[in-house]
Structure 1
């Protein structure tokens, strides 16, 4: 080739080629990392412009480094055409590389198309120089240009796509590979120039000093602009990253707050608020015909005992284990913790309602396996209520309430099973709710009252005491059975207030009878399991008795045998505290529990009340009922206790009890529970006799 060789311009070409490669890699990564469309278009524009400037500059400077003969003027039109082709190739490079996986077809087709574009850049650049003697454009030379340019573009595309992932954007590796790519660009450019002009003598650089000056200026301008562009993009990215981190921290904080507001902190399951939102969407899909929907209300049997005996930390770990096991069968998005030991599952997209029953049985079977908590094997079983849409309700509230009612039916039916909701459960649930709401105002509205059932001496029949029994007449429901409303009061946490009212009313009645000169007797008051666990109950009772001006010996409290033995050591301490204040105690329903003689002696109660089951069995004949009652009486007398037989309904029962030496009798044979006015007449009659 006849011309001049300039080493300085060749080095500038290497620098520009390296910057092109680095800019292409950098822009590809920026585009891939952008999540907003506007950010992607900005990086397309910046990256395409910088790559285009680099391609145009490297061709211009590279050709000046191997200037063919003496250059004359430059053609501005062809120079602009070369620049536009360079910009198009820059954008094309970014578009082809911007994909998750660069397939072979996209890679080869893109390389060929862009290779043709680079060949046009080369052709326009040579034509713009108007070199003396012209430039030979032959098909064979053009084909070689396209092949060389296609090879270079293919190499560049692979390099760009390899660094598209954020994890592989290492600065040192990018820089070294960019230099290697720049050297490849220079080699391919020199080969293309040699193909255009053939071989010949290279003249000294002094033959065209203007070309050296022009090439240096263009090189410096290109290097400075591309370097400034890279520096500016890096600065913008750093500011953006810092802003995103701050925004991300706020978003993360908001997400954490939202998660805390919508999820149970103990199990990580959705809470009732998130459950309601998801149920609304599930109901909308069910109404649109996308399968059947059912709600399962799950309560753990025996969890309270574990929580009370082993501690709340054990209970928390157990709940986490239960949640994990339930989530293994149910989709976690359809499972929620309602609070305590209660969970709700929403089953949707079911082909038939039978699918819900199958899942309920599967959950029951799954929960039969024990849980290992801190080396202790614990076992809880589920009681499950099932409600179906739309049969059992159209709203979130109705379905959950009805499934809850069915769950209580499962508990009442023996636990460790499931029940499907029916209308009768709704009626019972409404009645329970009505009772619960009525009890909230029962103390104030005067609907509560005390009935008194007399206790008589077993030998003489004289009145020796009475048992105070709570009665309630609801304004709408009428007289509510004590067992029913007391159970509701215990579940709703109102039993303590009712129990205090009973003590206060009994003392008021005793004070009134005493002030009127009537003969008073000792009144027995029943305590519920929850009430006796109440902190400070003995002080409250002693305060009420003292305020009424009575003696604590006039009040006797009764607890059932099973309740006393539930926590015998604690019961012993409680009874000791009551005795210290002068109160006497009786063990009710004796014979139905599992009292040990040791604890019976520790309790030091005043009376044992024989359960009516044994009393009524006396009429059936046979030796066993009589022998059992005789043994209880003998045991009680040996321990210095009185014996009361309750549920005496026939003269034959009374006769046998008198023969066995029973101290007191109580039952319908002698008198039914009666209001205070009638009991007053009974007392007066007894006193007159």
Structure 2
């Protein structure tokens, strides 16, 4: 059948061009707005910075005025303190002592005079025995009677080097002269000179020209020294003196941002500050932004052209995705509904194919391998659709496929297709507990309800089992589905509730020769207020189908560990408990960590727990299975194989795996009382060979004393069955241990 046609009106040129032009205009407007905003923002930032600089400089100038007087007072104080300090010294003076005192007192020279105005000591070794001439300031100080005197800066009488001197009188009439070089004083003042401040600001800031004007407009300091002394009027700059205004000007073929800011000291106009900011970097930035905008526009149009030329292909791809599964390439559910609604055939069969427990394959080998298997199934279905025409395959969901067969002649053709579908397991490499199950629904009317047929096929699929892998829909299946849904609901409640419905009973396993209880097997029971007692086979199967087997298994293990804890607290440390686990549960990546945490939480000994596996585990990947079992065995947990002899296992395989115990299936025990010598010999051989490879053997289903006698004679290690006890609650199991401790054909 041809693919459904999709009515899609091709978009006209106008529907693309008009929006594109509008987008272009919007893009240009946004670009212009962005560039203008960035430029204005940058200019505003520069204005703010200039204002801050001007205010900072104003503060500095105010400080300079005060600083000059403070420096003068500090120098006078230093000279007085130095004179007093020297005059108070009572030890003999020397050149070295005076030099040290000069250094400590922050002065440059110290001279000592006697009453005749003759230099007796000096800090630098000069002027010794030198007599002050008439008219020397020290002579005036000597006759003044004052204790101290500080002079202004003057040239030294002998060397001519400018000094600032201070004098102080000793109590015995001697005098001391202390001095500071004028050159050192000028260094202090130089840090507050306007030119020094301008040079400092020019070096630290990013502007390229700075000039400080006095209140008459004359340049008193500038970053360009050639401007000092020139007059710069506001009209020359083109800006009045203002804290907020600025202007773009050209200066020597460069663009600058000009500011003319007032300097106010003590509320009086003291001058102004001219700042020219070089905008070269801004212009480069604007050029780059313009280039980026232009390139973006170009890329936009190239993208538009490319999109327009490929619009047809994209529409085709969208249509393809709408009606096809991306992974397998098969048609999808949407296409199925349209396909069936247009199908003119009178006889139609819908087959839902599901590889059960597909999650196991993903878990063991990863989702990539699982996807490859799904692709393989899709390829096989495509080939089958060519063989069984007209036949159309679809992919429904993760691991479910749908096949629609129409115009088939009879039931044999449908059966042949089902047989081919069942062979997919071998062709795609699906293994073990992963089985192919088919649910079928048929319609023989003029028109076919796609939703109803799919629903019926899914109901039929839900009714499949390990022994019934192909199921045709019938009305009774809906009742079964309702019942299974109810059981699933009860299971969910039992798993989530600590006391609701799910419980364990325990069947003792005894030593064949002594009759002593060696261990118990834990068996799950589910009781519902609505449904009554639910068969373990039923709710276990539903748990596996509805992905509840892992949480159910965790719950059962937890209850079993509770019983082990009770046994240990009652002094039965040697009694172990065996718990059945599924292959899915065993191979789950979190099984071992969860098991270790559970044992630690319950506080039970690892060796008191035994895990029972069915032979179906041997259909898993043997290397992964072996690694998982060895990890479990390394924890001290015993491992047994349940129902041995009915499935996939062999003694040669068991010899390579860390298996402790084989549980001989009940069918071998049942045949012991028959006249078939072959059956007796087979049971005996299995026990003998199991012992040969170091395995313990448990016989299940022992119900007759004669069976016990024969198994004991065959050297079977342990026995289990109704001959000794039926499965009993935990409290009765404890009472059984307390009252007997051993069972000798104990009545059930």
**TM band (smaller chain):** 0.5 to 0.7
Structure 2 residue 483 is matched with structure 1 residue 423: no
Per the TM alignment, residue 516 of structure 1 is displaced from its structure 2 partner at its CA by 5.1
CA contact (8 A) 1:468 1:524 kept: yes
Q: Which residue of 1 aligns with 2:187?
A: none
Per the TM alignment, residue 644 of structure 1 is displaced from its structure 2 partner at its CA by 1.0
Structure 2 residue 457 is matched with structure 1 residue 403: yes
Per the TM alignment, residue 548 of structure 1 is displaced from its structure 2 partner at its CA by 1.3
The 1-side partners of 2:568 and 2:357 are apart by 48
The 2-side partners of 1:369 and 1:575 are apart by 31
- 1:87-108 residue CA offsets vs partner (Å, 9 max, x unmatched): xxxxxxxxxxxxxxxxxxxxxx
The alignment covers a number of residue pairs equal to 439
Per the TM alignment, residue 524 of structure 1 is displaced from its structure 2 partner at its CA by 0.4
Alpha carbons of structure 1 residues 517 and 390: separation in structure 2 relative to 1, 3 Å: farther
The 1-side partners of 2:559 and 2:422 are apart by 48
TM-score in terms of structure 2 length: 0.51
CA contact (8 A) 1:267 1:323 kept: no
Alpha carbons of structure 1 residues 257 and 581: separation in structure 2 relative to 1, 3 Å: same
The 2-side partners of 1:503 and 1:371 are apart by 32
Structure 2 residue 559 is matched with structure 1 residue 498: no
Q: What secondary structure does 1:547 align onto?
A: helix
- 1:68-122 residue CA offsets vs partner (Å, 9 max, x unmatched): xxxxxxxxxxxxxxxxxxxxxxxxxxxxxxxxxxxxxxxxxxxxxxxxxxxxxxx
- 1:227-269 residue CA offsets vs partner (Å, 9 max, x unmatched): xxxxxxxxxxxxxxx9998567556545534532442113333
Q: Which residue of 2 aligns with 1:541?
A: 595
Q: Which residue of 2 aligns with 1:268?
A: 329
Per the TM alignment, residue 580 of structure 1 is displaced from its structure 2 partner at its CA by 1.2
Q: Which residue of 2 aligns with 1:322?
A: 380
- 1:497-522 residue CA offsets vs partner (Å, 9 max, x unmatched): 11111111111122234335567620
Per the TM alignment, residue 661 of structure 1 is displaced from its structure 2 partner at its CA by 2.2
Structure 2 residue 511 is matched with structure 1 residue 457: yes
Q: Which residue of 1 aligns with 2:726?
A: 672
Within the candidate set 618, 624, 628, 1:574 is matched to: 628
Bigger fraction of residues in helix = 1
Q: What secondary structure does 1:461 align onto?
A: coil
CA contact (8 A) 1:303 1:315 kept: no
Structure 2 residue 601 is matched with structure 1 residue 601: no
Q: What secondary structure does 1:468 align onto?
A: strand
Q: Which residue of 2 aligns with 1:217?
A: none
Q: Which residue of 2 aligns with 1:625?
A: 679
The 1-side partners of 2:594 and 2:357 are apart by 31
How is 1:83-162 mapped onto 2 (pairs within 5 angstroms)? none
- 1:526-571 residue CA offsets vs partner (Å, 9 max, x unmatched): 1111111111312211221121111100001111234236433333
Bigger fraction of residues in strand = 2
How is 1:383-532 mapped onto 2 (pairs within 5 angstroms)? 384-389=438-443, 396-407=450-461, 419-445=471-497, 446-515=500-569, 521-532=575-586
- 1:20-68 residue CA offsets vs partner (Å, 9 max, x unmatched): xxxxxxxxxxxxxx9999x9xxxxxxxxxxxxxxxxxxxxxxxxxxxxx
- Per chain length, whose mean CA-contact separation is higher, i.e. which structure has more relative contact order (CA < 8 Å, sep 6+)? 1
Structure 2 residue 628 is matched with structure 1 residue 590: no
Q: Which residue of 2 aligns with 1:160?
A: none
Q: What secondary structure does 1:270 align onto?
A: coil
Within the candidate set 377, 384, 396, 1:338 is matched to: 396
Q: What secondary structure does 1:424 align onto?
A: helix
- 1:301-337 residue CA offsets vs partner (Å, 9 max, x unmatched): 7996999789446524422322322442678995421
Alpha carbons of structure 1 residues 385 and 601: separation in structure 2 relative to 1, 3 Å: closer
Alpha carbons of structure 1 residues 314 and 36: separation in structure 2 relative to 1, 3 Å: closer
Per the TM alignment, residue 627 of structure 1 is displaced from its structure 2 partner at its CA by 2.1
Alpha carbons of structure 1 residues 368 and 491: separation in structure 2 relative to 1, 3 Å: closer
* Structure number with bigger Rg: 2
Within the candidate set 673, 691, 695, 1:637 is matched to: 691
The 2-side partners of 1:274 and 1:570 are apart by 40
Q: What secondary structure does 1:266 align onto?
A: coil
CA contact (8 A) 2:350 2:442 kept: no
How is 1:678-689 mapped onto 2 (pairs within 5 angstroms)? 678-687=732-741
Question: What 5-or-longer segments of structure 2 have no aligned partner?
Answer: 1-8, 15-302, 744-748
- 1:272-324 residue CA offsets vs partner (Å, 9 max, x unmatched): 24434555x45xx9xxxx76463411427799699978944652442232232
Alpha carbons of structure 1 residues 482 and 413: separation in structure 2 relative to 1, 3 Å: closer
The 1-side partners of 2:436 and 2:555 are apart by 36
Q: What secondary structure does 2:680 align onto?
A: helix
The 1-side partners of 2:561 and 2:330 are apart by 51
Question: What 5-or-longer segments of structure 1 have no aligned partner?
Answer: 1-33, 40-241
Q: What secondary structure does 2:417 align onto?
A: helix
The 2-side partners of 1:423 and 1:372 are apart by 32
